[in-house]
Chain A
Amino acid sequence: MFFHNKKFHEIETPILIGYPPAESYLDVFQTTLLDRRHKKTSAYLSTSPELALKKLLVAGIGNCYSITKSFRNGETDSKTHTPEFTILEWYRVNKTYVDLMDDCEQLIRFIAASLKKGSTLTYQGTSFDLSAPWIRISVIEAFSTYAQVDLNTFFDMDTARKIATKKGYTVTASNTWEELYNQIFLNEVEPHLGVTKPTIMYDFPSAMGALCRKKISDPRLVERFEFYIGGLEVGDCYGELTDWKEQKARFDQELVEIQRIGKTLYEYDHDFIEALKEGMPEASGIAVGLDRLIMLFTNTKTIQETQLFPYEDLFDK
């Protein structure tokens, strides 16, 4: 309804695909497509509607959205993850990630209003004021305020190791910068996000934004934000990368990493690269975990409780 009112196109995207986007931090579900002669072709369950929607952006569809199931293998043993989950993804053409921050606020308030919950949401004993404006804090500010870390110096790997070690974390030679960054983030910064009011955290380090546009004013950072309500990360937004050369380079890099860590290998979607060559309009897109929104609005503690058939029940232990 929300998107219909804003005149977005609703899109149904394929779940069964031939070529996923190359992303080393995800694990794919792989299957086999048989043709009439039983010839086998590798097939995969899509990890997000992103590539399909972006191809449509290239084709000129304009603002669009999709609500679908996405599949991420290995995302088990968690109260907030499940390998098959419901995702809402939308894109705005010729708008920035800042414009999508407004979309997020409006969407959540729209849902609250439709459920007749007013502008206060109570989740697990805490009340959240959903009204504007939400807290907006940059990653650099968040690290400084909550972890007493100056991210500007932390960008240097040696300094990062020193800071992490000084804080008492275990640091080994094989740890990546992103692991050190995230361990501090998860232990010291994230617990403070979205705990009294919905919070938007923006401008991530570029290591955390493989498919994002770099900030023109500060290329160490990318145009990305996440928003948190009630301690739950609900949405992830990018100013999208439209340069096909850079996208291909990143995909190639990701495949190398996938091989290095031994995850299921696949060919990435070259068709998508061809589409980018045609020219994707400047756009920003965001993905929201719909199951988590349901958790928030129904005040349930685990993602499994929002499902009639959580995956844990479908397999023998």
Chain B
Amino acid sequence: MATISTGDFKKGIFVTFKNEPHQIMEFQHVNPGKGSAFVRTRLKSLKTGKVQEFTYKSGESIEELPVETHEMQYLYPEGEGYVFMDNRTYDQVTVPKLLIGDFVRFMKENDTYQILTHEEEAVGVRLPKKVRLLVTEANEGGARGNTVGGALKVVTLETGAEVNVPLFIKQGEMIAIDPETGTYVERA
């Protein structure tokens, strides 16, 4: 357990909130009209997945939960979770669906991901900066027209996820996606 202050907040870190482990999803600074500074924070419960907002006083002390990273291979979904296998120890762990959230859209079986644990329990996955996936369906029905750049069409990726990409992306191409926003970054 490490004590941090609001000045140390980073998106994605794990903290204790109301005596339960939470993950900081988002935070921003607020100055109520003519007053000191506060940090409005969105926290996700690792137990329930529920997201709530709390405003801390700027400089307030919070308990950070240190996490360990494990390189783990995604095997398959099972019940309310996803099964991962530690590449070194071959231990298997089931990570609850609510801790993976939307990232599952971009997960490929047998690919390796960084699973985060706190005191032996899985708390989430560290989102890679980019994921490289194959475009399996890119219907050419998207309107061309004289738009100045920016025109997008929907394609399907090998994981089943649908994303918006520029019109020039074809079926069979590899593209890079930012998993945090689910948006196209570049050709891979």
Q: Mark B43-80, 1 if CB is under 8 A from A, else 0.
A: 00000000001111100110000000000000000000
Beyond A25-B35, A25-B36, A179-B36, whether A187 also contacts B29 by CB under 8 A is: no
Inter-chain contact count A-B, CB under 8 Å? 58
Q: Does A81 lie within 8 Å of B29, measured CB to CB?
A: yes
Q: Does A236 lie within 8 Å of B29, measured CB to CB?
A: no
Instruction: Report if A170 contacts B (CB, 8 A).
Output: yes
Q: Does A182 lie within 8 Å of B32, measured CB to CB?
A: yes
Q: Does A77 lie within 8 Å of B29, measured CB to CB?
A: yes
Instruction: Report if B183 contacts A (CB, 8 A).
Output: no
Instruction: Report if B33 contacts A (CB, 8 A).
Output: yes
Please report the total number of A residues contacting B with Cβ < 8 Å: 28
A230 to chain B, nearest CB (A): 16
A76 to B37 alpha-carbon distance, docked (Å): 11
Max chain B CB contacts within 10 Å: which of A183, A185, A186, A236? Answer: A186
Query: Chain B contact residues (Cβ within 8 angstroms of A): what range?
Result: 10 to 19
Beyond A78-B28, A183-B38, whether A236 also contacts B18 by CB under 8 A is: no
Beyond A175-B57, A183-B38, whether A81 also contacts B31 by CB under 8 A is: yes
Interface residues of B in 86-111 (CB under 8 A from A): none
A164 to chain B, nearest CB (A): 10
Instruction: Report if A233 contacts B (CB, 8 A).
Output: yes
Instruction: Report if A274 contacts B (CB, 8 A).
Output: no
Beyond A170-B61, A187-B54, whether A182 also contacts B35 by CB under 8 A is: yes
Q: Does B54 lie within 8 Å of A226, measured CB to CB?
A: no
* Contact pick for B55, options A170, A178, A186, A208, CB 8 Å: A186
* Contact pick for A183, options B29, B34, B57, B61, CB 8 Å: B57
Q: Does A185 lie within 8 Å of B32, measured CB to CB?
A: yes
Max chain B CB contacts within 10 Å: which of A79, A182, A191, A209? Answer: A182
Q: Does A78 lie within 8 Å of B30, measured CB to CB?
A: yes
Max chain A CB contacts within 10 Å: which of B18, B34, B36? Answer: B34
Instruction: Report if B40 contacts A (CB, 8 A).
Output: yes
A115 to B36 alpha-carbon distance, docked (Å): 36
Q: Which residues of B contact A (CB under 8 A)?
A: 18, 28-36, 38, 40, 53-57, 60-61
Ordered by A's residue number, 5 sampled pairs between the chains whose C-beta atoms are within 8 Å are A25-B34, A77-B28, A78-B29, A183-B57, A186-B40
